[in-house]
């Protein structure tokens, strides 16, 4: 049966960093809703242009379009073994929709690791983040620097700083997380799926704990 894992955590907690590593180790598709919106924006699709108007303010893109995008993504062949969801769901309505989608595929969420990180640490992480243009590989100028400044170690593409990593937008993204996404902690706790991992430690230590959680 396919395995579906939801990675939960505030902006900058390290979801993308860890999801790439874990999905590869477990042979699961890595589905990042933020990356899907950014790909749509790059291709100037209607969805990408709509999403941008919310992302630049640090607000959530409306549930209906986000849910439709994930439904389509989950139906692709590379999700046959399952998927690691990073950044989705972000509201209780999205979580309900995910449960329905997975039920129609004959599956359900296996577990929900929460990467817990204090707000002050999040701001430092996001202000020093650099992402690669080709595939979204993530670096940090202090905590995880590339071998050569401005160049991705893995594919040689240019590194850039995200528009929504400006301090004012980051502060709003954290507030939006507290208001709209944090209720999912209780949502998944009540269903016996939530496992909290201390994310305020080096990348390797957090990764080892997450791997233990998702493989048990
Ligand atoms: P999205 O792209 O999902 O952003 P996010 O959730 O805010 O998460 P981030 O990508 O900022 O952080 P991350 O947790 O992945 O951390 P990372 O690994 O990069 O969403 C962007 C926008 O799209 C949203 O604001 C919204 O508008 C829209 N959107 C997306 N999904 C949506 C949905 N479901 N519904 C509605 N709207 C949606 O790490 C951060 C930095 O820290 C990096 O530099 C990294 O190198 C470093 N780092 C990572 N781990 C560690 C560590 N352990 N120690 C030190 N440094 C670390």
Which CATH number do you get for residue 38?
A: 3.40.50.300
| Residue 141 included in any domain | no
| Residue 164 included in any domain | no
Note down pLDDT in tens along the chain; length 216 residues.
Answer: 899 999 999 999 999 999 999 999 999 999 999 999 999 999 999 999 999 999 999 999 999 999 999 999 999 999 999 999 999 999 999 999 999 999 999 999 999 999 999 998 999 999 999 999 998 899 999 999 999 999 999 999 999 999 999 999 999 999 999 999 999 999 999 999 999 999 999 999 999 999 999 998
Query: Contact at 8 Å (CB) between 33 and 86?
Result: yes
Query: Contact at 8 Å (CB) between 129 and 162?
Result: yes
Q: Ligand 1 site: residues with CB under 6 angstroms?
A: 9, 11-17, 33-34, 37, 54-55, 58-61, 66, 87-88, 90, 94, 125-126, 128-129, 138-140, 143-144, 164, 173, 199, 202-203, 206
Active-site option among 20, 38, 125, 129 = 129
| Residue 148 included in any domain | no
Count how many domains the chain has.
1
**Count of alpha carbons within 13 angstroms of residue 2, beta-carbon side:** 23
State the DSSP H helix or E strand holding residue 188, giving kind and residue range, or none if neither.
Answer: helix 183-190
| Residue 131 included in any domain | no
| Residue 124 included in any domain | no
Active-site option among 57, 71, 110, 162 = 162
Nearest atom in ligand 1 to 199's CA: 53
Residue that has been written with the tokens 């039920």 in this structure: 103
| Residue 165 included in any domain | no
| Residue 158 included in any domain | no
Q: How far apart (Å, rounded) are the C-alpha atoms in residues 97 and 49? A: 24
| Residue 206 included in any domain | yes
Residue that has been written with the tokens 């004012």 in this structure: 168
* Among the listed residues 183, 154, 146, 214, the one whose alpha carbon sits nearest the alpha carbon of residue 6: 214
Query: What is the model's pTM?
Result: 0.96
Alpha-helical runs (H) found in 27-91: 33-42, 46-55, 63-74
Query: Contact at 8 Å (CB) between 137 and 114?
Result: no
Whose Cα sits closest to atom 17 in ligand 1? 14
Whose Cα sits closest to atom 30 in ligand 1? 34
Query: Contact at 8 Å (CB) between 145 and 153?
Result: no
Instruction: Specify whether 125 is catalytic.
Output: no
DSSP-derived 3-state class of residue 107: coil
pLDDT digits (tens, 9 = 90+) for 73-124: 999 999 999 999 999 999 999 999 999 999 999 999 999 999 999 998 999 9
Domain that holds residue 62: 3-118+177-215
């Amino acid at each position: 049966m396919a395995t579906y894992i939801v990675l939960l955590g505030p902006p900058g907690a390290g979801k993308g960093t860890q999801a790439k590593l874990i999905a590869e180790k477990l042979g699961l598709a890595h589905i990042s809703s933020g990356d899907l919106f950014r790909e749509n924006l790059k291709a100037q699709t209607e969805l990408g242009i709509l999403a941008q108007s919310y992302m630049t303010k640090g607000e959530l893109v409306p549930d209906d379009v986000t849910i439709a995008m994930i439904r389509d993504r989950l139906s692709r062949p590379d999700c046959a073994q399952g998927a690691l969801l990073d950044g989705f769901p972000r509201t209780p309505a999205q979580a309900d929709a995910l449960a329905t989608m997975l039920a129609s595929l004959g599956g359900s969420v296996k577990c929900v690791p929460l990467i817990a990180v204090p707000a002050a640490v999040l701001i430092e992480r996001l202000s020093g983040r650099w992402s690669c243009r080709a595939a979204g590989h993530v670096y940090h100028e202090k905590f995880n620097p590339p071998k050569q400044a401005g160049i991705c170690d893995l594919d040689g593409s240019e590194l850039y700083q995200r528009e929504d990593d400006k301090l004012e937008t980051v502060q709003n993204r954290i507030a939006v997380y507290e208001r709209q996404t944090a209720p999912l902690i209780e949502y998944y706790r009540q269903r016996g799926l939530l496992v909290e991992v201390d994310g305020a430690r080096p990348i390797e230590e957090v990764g080892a704990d997450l791997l233990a959680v998702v493989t048990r």
